[in-house]
Amino acid sequence: MSEARTYVVLLGVPGAGKGTQAKLLEQSTGLPQVSTGDIFRYNLKNQTELGKLAKSYMDKGDLVPDDVTIRMVEDRLQQPDCARGAIMDGFPRNLVQAAAFDKVTAPFGGVRVVPLINVEDDETIRRITGRRSCRTCGAVYHVTLNPPKVEGICDVDGGELYQRDDDKEETVRNRLFVYYKQTSPLIGYYFAKGVLAEVDGSRSINEVQQALMALMG
């Protein structure tokens, strides 16, 4: 086996707080956040071939095909900043992706821990519908629950805040459906491997972060 790496997989419904927590974990552990949603949005913005392919799926709230997604993640994990591992945010999202991720991580000790961030559905909807994202750096805010210092402007880099197209109610409903149908089986999958750790995600951003840090060992 090669030298062990720390691969963390954040699980939870859309809006549970995975991206928010992944960014904070990145700051405190130095492990990079790997967000497949962010990578797809970057490609969309820059109108790459990958972005053009992903768009129709993202617009509907469906999953982008596995072969494309898995290849994209494999490439990302080979970048030098992932040499000690990564905080996975939004990947894997179904059992095929989970099996592929096991293959990639096996030489480095496999997946270390899978925090499941638990939030009630009505709170999730409240969080998603009020979410605002920075156009330039991807930082995430909420109009009331986690507002920026100046309305509409990112604290980090002054970028413009916008509402993601797929955060509109119609698409949100399909994204939740896709989560329950395709992603939630991963809970059992990782439980059986002994790496699942449930976290109460209904608490404040700080409290959830502390619970996650305690799991990092």
Catalytic residues, which ones? Answer: 18, 93, 131, 164, 175
Count CB atoms within 10 A of the CB of residue 28.
Answer: 11
Contact stretch for ligand ADP (CB under 6 A) within 26-34, 68-76, 77-85, 123-131: 123-131
> Shortest approach of Zn ion to residue 137 CB, angstroms?
3
Binding partner at 76 among ligand AMP, ligand ADP, Zn ion, none, C-beta below 5 to 8 Å by kind: none
Instruction: Give the DSSP letter string of 61-120.
Output: TPPPPHHHHHHHHHHHHTSGGGTTEEEEES---SHHHHHHHHHHHGGGTSEEEEEEEE--
Please name every residue paired with 176 in a beta bridge, in sequence order, or none if there are none.
none
Residue 137 touches Zn ion, criterion: CB under 5 A: yes
> Shortest approach of ligand ADP to residue 75 CB, angstroms?
22
CA 108 remoteness from chain centre: 21
- Please state, in angstroms and rounded to a whole number, the distance separating the CA atoms of residues 18 and 186: 15
Residue 131 touches ligand ADP, criterion: CB under 6 A: yes
Roughly what angle, to the nearest 10 degrees, separates helices 36-45 and 66-77? 100
- Name the residue nearer to ligand AMP (CB basis): 74 or 151: 74
Q: Which of 63, 134, 176, 196 binds Zn ion (CB under 5 A)?
A: 134
Contact stretch for ligand AMP (CB under 6 A) within 4-12, 26-34, 62-70, 151-159: 62-70
Residue 101 touches ligand AMP, criterion: CB under 6 A: no
Binding partner at 69 among Zn ion, ligand AMP, ligand ADP, none, C-beta below 5 to 8 Å by kind: ligand AMP
- Tokens at 90, concatenated: 């939004």
Burial call 130-165: b when 16+ CB within 10 Å, e when fewer: bbbbbeeebbbbbeeebebeeeeebeeeebebeebe
Nearest to 171 by CA among 160, 163, 182: 163
DSSP-derived secondary structure letter, 36: H
68-87 residues in contact with ligand AMP (CB under 6 A) are 69
**Which residues of this protein are in contact with ligand AMP, per CB under 6 A?**
14, 36-37, 40, 57-58, 61-64, 69, 90-91, 93, 97, 166, 175
Binding site for ligand ADP (CB under 6 A): 12, 14-20, 127, 130-131, 140-142, 145-146, 204-205, 208
